[in-house]
Amino acid sequence: MSNGFDELGPLVGSPVSFTEDPDAGDRACLFGAAVLIDRAGLLPDFDPEAFAALVTTRSAAPRPWVSVAPERIEAQLRIAATTAASAPVATAMLARLLRLGEGLSFEAALELESLAYSSLLGSAEFKRWRASVKGHGNVATAHEPVRYEREDDDVTLVLASPGNRNAMTATMRDALFEGLSAVIDDPSMPRLTLRGEGKCFSTGGHLPEFGSTPDIAQAHVIRVLRSAALLLHRLGDRAEAQVHGLCVGSGIEVPAAAARRIATPETIVQLPELSMGLIPGAGGTVSIARAIGRHRLFWLALGGFRLGASQALDWGLFHRLEP
C-alpha cells in the first residue's frame, strides 16, 4: 500500500509535477516538487508553501510568480521537464534544500547546501555528466588571479583572469577567500568592492575541476571553511559587488551575497548545475534565494534559463544597473 511519499519522487521518475490546480501542492511527497502553471494569467489564490515554483503568463507578475510570455511557456515547460527527468535526484534535492534553508541562518543554510552538493558528487547523475565532458586537464590560471587594490578606506578585489573568463578555479577561490579575509580582519574596517576584469565577471567553476577531489567529505569541509559567499555576507553593508557580462554558477552565487549588487545592462545570469547532476554549490541556494525567493530560484535552475539584467533588477537580485 502506498504511504503517499513514494507516488512522486526521484526514485520512481521525475520528482516534478506540473499542475494548473492551485490546490494540488506537493506537501504529500517529501521529495516532490509541484510547479503551478497559470496559463490564463489570472494569478489564482494558492498556498506558496505547497509549491516549488509558480509560472504565469501575466506580465510583470509579483513575487513569487515567474512571468513567461504566452508564446514561450510551452517551450520552457518542456525544457524544465527534460531537466527534471534527466537529473531527478539533483532536482528533488534542490527543491528540498530550498525549503529547509528558508528557516535557517545564512551560515547554517550554506553548510546544508555543501552537504547536499557533496552527496551529489557521488551520484550517478553527476558521474554521467562528467564522463560526457571532454578536455579534462590543467587550467591556465593568471599569476595573480585576484588583485588587491586599496585607496584610503576603500578596498577593491578584482577577479583578474580574463583569459579564462575569470573561471572560479580552486586557485581563484582561495585567492578570493584570502582577500576577503584580509578585509574582514583589517581593524580599519574598509569598504569593499568586488568586480571582474575582462568581458565578463565570471563564468563560474572551471569544468575540468568539477568532481576532481577524491575525498568528497574533505571537499565539503573545505567548501564550508573557505566560503567567499559567507565572508561577503559577514561584511554586511561594507560590501558591494559590481558584475557585468556573463555571471554563471558561482559567478553569480558569490556576488549575490554582497549587501549591494550593481550590474551593467548587458549582464546575463545563469545557473546550469542541474544539467550536470548537481545543485548550486558556492552559496547560491542561500544568497540568490534570499534575494529573489526560493520559487524563482528553483525555476531559474530547473530550466537553466538565462536571466537578463532588467528582469534580475525587477526580481531584486540587483539593486541598480549602471553602464
Do 23 and 170 share a structural domain? no
pLDDT digits (tens, 9 = 90+) for 13-26: 789 999 999 998 76
For residue range 146-165, list pLDDT tens digits in order: 999 999 999 999 999 999 99
What is the number of structural domains in the chain?
2
Please say which residue of 86, 114, 136 terminates a domain. Answer: 86
With 90 as the cut, is the pLDDT of residue 243 above it?
A: yes
Instruction: Answer yes or no: is pLDDT of 27 > 60.
Output: no
Q: What is the pLDDT of residues 250-271, one digit of tens each?
A: 999 999 999 999 999 999 999 9
The proportion of the chain whose per-residue pLDDT surpasses 90, expressed as a percent, equals 83
pLDDT digits (tens, 9 = 90+) for 177-187: 999 999 999 99
Q: Across-strand partners of 193?
A: 156, 240
| Strand 154-159 versus strand 260-263 pairing type | unpaired
* Separation CA 156–CA 60 (nearest Å): 35
Rounded CA separation 165/227 (Å): 21
Q: Give the whole-angstrom CA distance, residue 86 versus residue 95.
A: 15
Residue 93 lies in a domain: no
Span 73-97, average pLDDT? 96
pLDDT at 13: 77
Q: What is the pLDDT of residue 316?
A: 98
Bridge pairing between strands 268-270 and 307-308: antiparallel
Residue 2 has pLDDT above 50, yes or no: no
168 and 267 within one domain? yes
CA-CA distance, 264 to 302, in Å (whole number)?
Answer: 25
Nearest alpha carbon to residue 196 among 167, 228, 226, 171: 167
Q: Is residue 94 part of a domain?
A: no
Between residues 100 and 28, the one the model is more confident about: 100
pLDDT confidence of residue 213? 77
5 assigned to some structural domain: no
pLDDT score for 216: 87
Residues 223 and 291 placed together within one structural domain of the fold: yes
Instruction: Give the domain range for residue 35.
Output: 16-86
Residues 81, 112, single domain; the answer is no
**Mean of the per-residue pLDDT values of the chain:** 92
